[in-house]
Amino acid sequence: MADVVFATPELQEQAASIIARYPSTRSALMPLLYLAQSVQGHVSSEGMREIALLLDITTAEVEAVASFYTMFRMGPTGTHLLDVCTNVSCKLRGADELLACAKEALGPGCEGVTEDGVFTLHEEECLGACETAPVVQVNFANYDNVTREQLLDIVEKLRAGEEPPAPSRGPLPKDFKEASRVLAGVQDLFASTSSAASAASAASVTSEGGGAG
Ligand code: FES
């Protein structure tokens, strides 16, 4: 059977390098699910079949893991995934209003994929940052203490293809597929951010040096 998801030599090499990280091949299951998700924007049945073959386990075992964790999307997903936590701490700090605000801003169908294909909205359980509730994630990057205005600003910028405000910690993946590549361990956003920062800093030093001379 021809590979449908890991269809290119590059993807096959990445899958092989993920498997090689672990003493037991089945331990590569979650990163391979992220890799499959980075290709199609969700985990498809073809992807699960290919992973099962690669790891010599059953498709049912792959599906059991993929369907358990909410980070894996089992159906079509927009360019950006917007998660709103509505667990207790966030609920007490206005999460229900934020969720309603997100639904209104994104429009009908947003819990699947919005008509323009840009968003999927997901109501999430605790995101592990209760002390900064309410919390919203964009492509798995946390925004803390989010207000209605901030949420609308993030949505507006993403919809317009502009850079949204920076998340509360770490860099923001450019889209859901990139976030999945990062979680598969085949892309390092921190490295690209720090090399961009080094280049900017070097350019600034050079230009300052030129001015002084
Ligand atoms: S309840 Fe929302 S981050 Fe914990």
Spacing, Cα 132 to ligand 1 middle (Å): 8
Tell me the residue type at 163: E
| Average pLDDT score over the chain | 91
Tell me the residue type at 35: L
- Answer whether residue 210 shows pLDDT above 50: no
Cα angle: 134, vertex 140, 141; to 5 degrees? 65
**Distance from C-alpha of 176 to C-alpha of 38, rounded to nearest angstrom:** 8
Tell me the fold of 1-74+175-191.
Answer: Arc Repressor Mutant, subunit A (1.10.10)
- The residue extents of the domains of the chain are 1-74+175-191, 80-174
Quote the pLDDT of residue 45: 97
Pocket test residue of 96, 98, 123, 135 for ligand 1, highest count of atoms within 8 A of CB: 135
Residues 6+ apart with CB under 8 A from 25: 19, 54, 55, 56
**Distance from C-alpha of 196 to C-alpha of 160, rounded to nearest angstrom:** 24
Quote the pLDDT of residue 3: 79
- Answer whether residue 51 shows pLDDT above 80: yes
Q: Is the CB of 129 under 6 A from ligand 1?
A: yes
In 3-state terms, what secondary structure has residue 48?
Answer: helix
Pocket test residue of 130, 136, 137, 146 for ligand 1, highest count of atoms within 8 A of CB: 130
Quote the pLDDT of residue 201: 53
Q: Is the CB of 126 under 6 A from ligand 1?
A: yes
With beta carbons less than 8 A apart as the criterion, state whether 6 and 35 touch: yes
**Distance from C-alpha of 70 to C-alpha of 122, rounded to nearest angstrom:** 9
Quote the pLDDT of residue 190: 82
Q: Is the CB of 85 under 6 A from ligand 1?
A: yes
Neighbouring C-beta atoms of residue 13, cutoff 10 Å: 12
Residues 6+ apart with CB under 8 A from 29: 51, 55, 57, 61, 62, 65
72-104 pLDDT, tens digit per residue, is 999 999 999 999 999 999 999 999 999 999 999
Quote the pLDDT of residue 166: 97
Same fold, 1-74+175-191 and 80-174: no
With beta carbons less than 8 A apart as the criterion, state whether 37 and 45 touch: no
CA-based Rg of the chain, rounded to a whole angstrom?
A: 20
**Closest-lying ligand 1 atom to the alpha carbon of residue 134:** 2
Quote the pLDDT of residue 23: 97
Q: Which helix (H) or strand (E) holds 138?
A: strand 136-138
Q: Could you tell me which residue, 207 or 126, shows the higher pLDDT?
A: 126
**Distance from C-alpha of 133 to C-alpha of 94, rounded to nearest angstrom:** 8
Q: Is the CB of 98 under 6 A from ligand 1?
A: no
- Answer whether residue 204 shows pLDDT above 70: no
In the CATH scheme, what is the homologous superfamily, with its name and number, of domain 80-174? Answer: Glutaredoxin (3.40.30.10)
